[in-house]
Amino acid sequence: MMRSMFAGVSGTRAHQLRMDVIGNNIANVNTVGYKYGRTTFQDMLSQTMRGSMAPSETRGGVDPMQVGLGVATRSIDIVFTPGNLEYTGKLTDMAIQGNGLFIVRDSSGGLQFTRDGAFTIDAEGNLSHPSTGFIVQGWMANSKGEIVRSDQLKGLSIPLGTSMSAKATDRITFVGNLQAGSEVGESYSTSVPIYDSQGLQHTVTMEFVKTSADNEWEWIATGPSGPAGGGMVQFDENGTVSRLYRPTSTVTFDGNLDSDAAVDTSVTKLVQVYDSEGRQRSLEVTYTKTAANEWSWDATLYGGSESVGSGTLEFDGATGAIIGGGTGQAEIDPETRVSLYFSDIRQSDSPSSLTGEQDGIPVGSISIFPGTGAAQISITPGFGSITQVGDASSVNWSTQNGHAAGTMETFNIDDRGVITGVYSNGQYKIIGQMALASFANPEGLTRQSNNMFAATTNSGSPQVGEATTGGRGSVMGTTLEMSNVDLAREFTDMIITQRGFQANSRVITAADEMLQELLALKR
């Protein structure tokens, strides 16, 4: 008789505990990021009244006979199913879609974890949990806007109102098309806004001129004060950029060599040429009188002593016109052989005076003198995204990296938890990145106050990393994850729990009445 009463008592206690869990779930139906608890039961040790017996040749087997001793609470689980996501429009509200928890550092320096992303920015710019002041953890970007992830987490700060210095433009990227089949001499122009070191805006005009039927265009930059640089763009047969320079192929000399000069008299002419990589080299040609009406020439690269070409020029004594050795060759590098033309040189009784013209075009750059007190602007243009196909010419700039000074006005958070500051000058700068934690057994976490969890020996150590990696979910800005409590389920469980409690109470009452009847038999 006492066994049934004990079983009933254990049943009422177990259902009381379950009701406590259900009541807490219902109380937290609107708690941001709350994960509901679930109570499960297990039967207690059974008392064996008779053991089992195996069947024999003359008798069948006998089953064991046992009486259970009641019920016990097996577990109170934390169920990490997702809650509904609600858009709030508040920049500091965040939710995790998928697995993972936000990481905050408490006042003692330890780490706690939460699904409650209703954060705020405090007076120092820290991204923090408003009810506790715990600072959200992650990685801050360096001065270049680069995030270096390490095991050392830091508190995230969003410095609204801070300023960004002006930056002079040093890179422009062009996109578009230069029409294939354009006649030599046809051109196309576009304008690009740029900035100097003081943040003042200037305009550069880029003109593209078809210079050769061999898919070659020359570009010419013009700044506020006039010519600012130039170069070449060459395309392959598929219409993609193949080269941004033209190595020197010819040098044409002009001028006069003094016919009255004594033998062994030398005259030197320096000509700037371009090698196979578009680098500028100095070709030094030395003319030495060897006899009447005869001059030898020797070519070297400036700063070197090794000859890269040599020959002899012969002149008509009467007319001064060249009659022998009118051409030569110089080797600038293994891939650049330059033809030298001397046929325009004359010999007369005037002082020696020579010029040299070459046909190479270097890797071009743009140099602008703002005239505002700012430093010279040196810009490297990028043409890799320009094509040469049959469409009409249409070239424009896609990016330029200069900007005026500005102030951080707001920020964005992407699905990886990267925080990007938005400035009044239209610029964006990465501020930092939130870190997320995952656990091998999240149900092994222990609840703390204020929607927080702490790691335990059974939850495993936190696996810290960025969102969308390692099984961690994505971050959703301006959104909160609500409680995953289902009221319909909770009310159903409450009714079932109440019925279970009532039934166990009746067991206790019936057992007590039977015990009273048993005691009355003595009378």
Exposed e or buried b per residue across 106-132, where buried means at least 16 C-beta atoms within 10 angstroms of its C-beta: beeeebbbbbbbbbebeeeebbbbeeb
Residue 298 clears pLDDT 60, i.e. is over it = yes
Span 300-354, pLDDT tens digits: 998 888 999 999 999 999 999 999 999 999 999 988 999 999 999 999 999 999 9
For a pLDDT cut of 70, what percent of the chain falls above it? 99
pLDDT, average across residues 133-153: 90
pLDDT, average across residues 182-202: 93
How far apart are the C-alpha atoms of 499 and 15, rounded to whole Å? 9
pLDDT given for residue 339 in this prediction: 96
Span 113-135, pLDDT tens digits: 999 999 999 999 999 999 999 99
pLDDT band for position 253 (cuts 50, 70, 90): very high
Judge whether 136 and 399 are in contact, CB under 8 Å: no
pLDDT given for residue 522 in this prediction: 63
Judge whether 24 and 31 are in contact, CB under 8 Å: no
All structural domains of the chain, each given as residue ranges with its CATH number in brackets, are 2-46+68-80+484-520 (no CATH), 85-164+406-481 (no CATH), 171-246+363-400 (2.60.98.20), 250-358 (2.60.98.20)
What's 274's DSSP letter?
A: E
Judge whether 478 and 89 are in contact, CB under 8 Å: yes
Residue with tokens 């690269």: 301
Residue 1 clears pLDDT 70, i.e. is over it = no
Q: Is 13 left (phi over 0), alpha (psi -120 to 50) or beta?
A: alpha
How far apart are the C-alpha atoms of 72 and 441, rounded to whole Å? 24
pLDDT given for residue 371 in this prediction: 81
pLDDT given for residue 173 in this prediction: 95
pLDDT band for position 6 (cuts 50, 70, 90): confident
Mean pLDDT of the chain: 93
pLDDT given for residue 523 in this prediction: 56
Exposed e or buried b per residue across 405-441, where buried means at least 16 C-beta atoms within 10 angstroms of its C-beta: bbebeebebbebbbbbbebebebebbbbbbbbbbbee
The tokens for 314 are 């012969």
How far apart are the C-alpha atoms of 292 and 314, rounded to whole Å? 9
pTM of the predicted model over 0.85: no
Name, in order, each residue with C-beta under 8 angstroms of 495's C-beta and a sequence gap of 6 or more: none
For a pLDDT cut of 90, what percent of the chain falls above it? 82
For residue 368, the cross-strand partners are 377
pLDDT, average across residues 31-58: 92
